Amino acid sequence: MSVPPLTPPASGRGIKVEAGASLAAFIWFRTGGPAKTLVRPDTAHDLAAYLRDLDPSTPVLPVGVGSNLIVRDGGVPGVVVRLPKAMAKVTVQDGRVRAGAGAMGISVASAARDAGIAGLEFLRGIPGTVGGAVRMNAGAYGRDVSDILVEATVVTRDGSVETWSAEKLGFTYRHSDLPAGAVVVEAVFSGTPGEPAVIGAEMDRIAAEREASQPLRSRTGGSTFKNPEGHKAWALIDAAGCRGLTRGDAQVSEKHCNFLLNLGSASSAEIEALGEEVRDRVKAHSGVTLEWEIQRVGEYLPSRLREGSGEGGLDTGISHQPLPRPLPQAGGEQ
């Protein structure tokens, strides 16, 4: 028997629409410009109805908690979709976990542990939502979403609600074939039977290891670059002398040099330009071209000069106000 869907049947048009909403208020880096339009649907069907009526030329960008995102300083044109708490429920039935795409990885891992389902522990260490994890094929410790995903419910850009198999999602390393503008609203995961105490101990081990090796309490975007075939990105970055490198208030983390940090008042342009500088230095030192894992979205501020390296924009020293909210605690609910 399958887990009953969390998505209620189509109701009225329940959707909050806000013009010029801040994304820096919740994106992990705490930088970047606003969304031209931010929408928060009550249900998948409300989202589908909204997208059906939206001009097909308007770009749509789903966001989770921005733990793998640089939002450029000029903001995001079109529509940004953020799922509400109501779309973050997690239920378990018959050895499968069904999660709203707004749920955090830790909630999914914890529900699986409580139900004695092993194999989802790695989600404990990924401080993003289910939607972001499916889109990014997030993973750690030799496992990723493609190993546990049964199916995902997707609202397409033209407003249909569809069930996509893992095969259809075309997962490869930190990649899915989800088309631009498609929003994951639910996912079903499976694992293998396990002892809750053993699963819990593994989750604790993961949490402790993360605490020791990653700058979890910093304004960061997680791993900046994908590990190139046969290499570790951090080792290439270290060997190229980039550990601790700064540009304005952006820094290559001393603790884990595949992480970039906003030390306080960095702009997104500074963070991105620092990333491009790291790519140049690694290419010059080892001949390897690093590929961005962090998703870079939105527009550069027109007032900022463009620098010749890659797509990076050069910051011209515009200072940012102190960030509005306390930092998220990695692994916790955000």
Tell me which residues in 250-279 interact with ligand FAD (CB under 6 A).
Answer: none
Q: Which residues of 236-266 are buried (b: 16+ CB within 10 A; e: fewer)?
A: bbbebebbebebbbbbbbeebbbbbbbeebb
Catalytic residue among 22, 67, 176, 223: 223
Q: Is 174 a catalytic residue?
A: yes
Q: Note the helical H segments in the chain.
A: 44-53, 105-114, 130-136, 145-148, 166-169, 196-213, 233-239, 268-286
Tell me which residues in 60-79 interact with ligand FAD (CB under 6 A).
Answer: 61-69
Closest approach, Cβ 243 to ligand FAD, in A, equals 17
Q: Where are the beta strands (DSSP E) in 253-294?
A: 259-262
Q: What is the DSSP letter of 257?
A: T
The full length of the chain comes to 334
Give the distance, in angstroms, between the CA of residue 5 and the centroid of all CA atoms in the same chain. 24
Q: Fill in the per-residue mask, 103 to 142: x = in contact with ligand FAD (CB under 6 A), - = not in contact.
A: ----------------------xxxxx-xxx-xx-xxx--
Q: Is 293 a catalytic residue?
A: yes
Fill in the amino acid letter for 106. Answer: I
Tell me which residues in 83-102 interact with ligand FAD (CB under 6 A).
Answer: 83, 101
Helix axes 105-114, 196-213, angle to 10 degrees: 150
31 binds ligand FAD (CB under 6 A): no
300 binds ligand FAD (CB under 6 A): no
220 binds ligand FAD (CB under 6 A): yes
Catalytic residue among 96, 157, 174, 279: 174
Tell me which residues in 33-52 interact with ligand FAD (CB under 6 A).
Answer: none
CA count, 13 A, side-chain hemisphere, 14: 14
Residues belonging to the active site: 174, 223, 293
Residues that bind ligand FAD (CB under 6 A): 28, 61-69, 83, 101, 125-129, 131-133, 135-136, 138-140, 178, 183-184, 214, 216, 220-223, 295, 330
